[in-house]
């Protein structure tokens, strides 16, 4: 029973991660070969563990897989990332994810040490596995539905379910009033005149490069920090207007990003690609782009 519980628990973690990533890909349209590869590998490995075929090999492959996950999570934690992207758009602290990976590896290592207990499944065992697999698939479907991000459109934000991820895509707001203005608190009135709204994360090196460049911009600039919020010295706020998105919601955006406003209406958007092409930052790192591992 302990063996079965450990195998099903490992499969559940893999299916949760795959379902959350898939929900982000479907809702946000951010499909890449790398992300699809992760989803397929996690889903395949979960199914393999559930079936019990060549269980001794499945356990070793899973242990190796989570070892890679652990190294990646620790690397992101050391780099100061606020989320590792291991569960799609859901924010997951790298150190918390690394702890989870370590727990799973410990359980799998226990199974490897008890090699003789990993016997071929009997008929009753297959029935139990079938029931367990059905429950896992049902849970994965629930994760897919509950973790699907919601888009913030130009009409504003409808009442969202608690903990829902709100996806910011300003390219859909051109010629319309910027809906973000309802969710920020700044000292200036961004509904009047021309403004550049700089979206950034406090732990994003690329964002800091863009923020520093816009410090010297002669036009009116408002810097908008996306949660989780960091500490910023007052001396760094000497230029421009500073604001924060409401931290009561789970916002998701690819940063850095610059939104151009005229009387509160979006007239243009500069995404990461355009900002990099303009020489405002040099690295290829992506902060808060789903999903990465």
Q: What is the DSSP string of 69-89?
A: HHHHHHHHHHHT-S---TTTT
The verdict on 92 and 7 lying in the same domain is yes
The band of 290, judged by pLDDT with boundaries at 50, 70 and 90, is very low
pLDDT-derived band at 286, boundaries 50, 70, 90: very low
Decide: 275 and 258 in contact? Cβ < 8 Å: yes
- Output the pLDDT for position 232: 59
- pLDDT computed for residue 288 by the predictor: 46
Residues 141 and 240 in one domain: no
- Identify the weakest region by mean pLDDT among 47-61, 170-184, 222-236: 222-236
Residue 288 within a domain: no
Q: Angle, to 10 degrees, between the axis of helix 2-28 and the axis of helix 94-113?
A: 140
Q: Which two tokens stand for residue 120?
A: 């071929």
Domain that holds residue 228: 151-277
Are residues 53 and 159 part of one domain? no
Same-domain status, 83 and 56: yes
Averaged pLDDT for residues 167-194: 80
User: Does residue 59 lie within any of the structural domains?
Assistant: yes
pLDDT at 154: 60
Q: How many angstroms separate the CA atoms of 256 and 240, rounded? A: 17
- When pLDDT is cut at 50, 70 and 90, the band that residue 190 belongs to is confident
CB 137 within 8 A of CB 18: no
Phi-psi region of 176 (alpha: psi -120 to 50; beta: other; left: phi over 0): beta
Q: pTM of this prediction?
A: 0.56
Q: Of residues 173 and 289, which shows the higher confidence score? A: 173
In a domain, 201, yes or no: yes
Q: Is residue 105 part of a domain?
A: yes
Q: What mean pLDDT, rounded, does the chain reach?
A: 75
User: Residue 201 region, left (φ>0) first, then alpha (ψ -120 to 50), else beta?
Assistant: beta
According to the model, what pLDDT value does residue 202 have? 80
In the three-class reduction of DSSP (H, G, I as helix; E, B as strand; rest coil), residue 258 is classed as: strand
* Domain count of the fold of the chain: 2
Residue 193: pLDDT above 70? Answer: yes
Residue that is last in its domain, among 113, 147, 181:
147
Query: What pLDDT shows up at residue 293?
Result: 42
Q: Do 124 and 202 belong together in one domain? A: no
pLDDT band, residue 119 (cuts 50/70/90):
low
Whether residue 140 sits in one domain with residue 168: no
Cα 144 from chain centre: 14
pLDDT value of position 5: 78
Please, where are the H alpha helices in 80-199? 94-113, 123-147
Q: Is the pLDDT confidence value at 131 over 70?
A: no
């Amino acid at each position: 029973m302990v063996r079965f519980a450990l195998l099903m628990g490992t499969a559940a973690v893999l299916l949760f991660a795959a379902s959350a990533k898939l929900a982000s890909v479907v809702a946000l349209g951010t499909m890449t070969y790398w992300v699809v590869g992760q989803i397929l590998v996690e889903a395949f490995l979960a199914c393999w563990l559930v079936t019990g075929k060549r269980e001794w090999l499945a356990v070793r492959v899973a242990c190796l897989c989570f070892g890679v996950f652990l190294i990646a999570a620790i690397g992101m934690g050391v780099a100061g990332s606020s989320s590792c992207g291991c569960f799609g758009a859901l924010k997951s602290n790298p150190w918390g994810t690394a702890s989870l990976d370590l727990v799973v590896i410990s359980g799998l290592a226990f199974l490897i040490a008890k090699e003789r207990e990993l016997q071929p499944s009997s008929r009753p065992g297959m029935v139990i596995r079938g029931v367990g697999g059905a429950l896992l698939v049902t849970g994965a479907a629930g994760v897919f539905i509950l973790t699907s991000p919601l888009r913030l459109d130009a009409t504003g934000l409808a009442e969202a379910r608690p903990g829902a991820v709100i996806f910011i895509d300003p390219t859909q707001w051109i010629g319309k009033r910027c809906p973000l203005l309802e969710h920020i608190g700044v000292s200036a009135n961004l509904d009047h005149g021309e403004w550049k709204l700089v979206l950034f994360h406090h732990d994003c090196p690329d964002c800091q490069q863009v923020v520093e460049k816009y410090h010297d911009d002669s036009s009116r600039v408002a810097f908008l920090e996306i949660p989780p919020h960091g500490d910023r010295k007052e001396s760094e706020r000497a230029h421009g207007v500073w604001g924060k998105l409401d931290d009561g919601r789970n916002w998701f955006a690819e940063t850095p990003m610059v939104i151009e406003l005229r009387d509160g209406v979006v007239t243009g958007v500069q995404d990461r690609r355009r900002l990099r092409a303009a020489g405002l930052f040099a690295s290829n790192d992506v902060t808060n782009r789903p999903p990465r591992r």
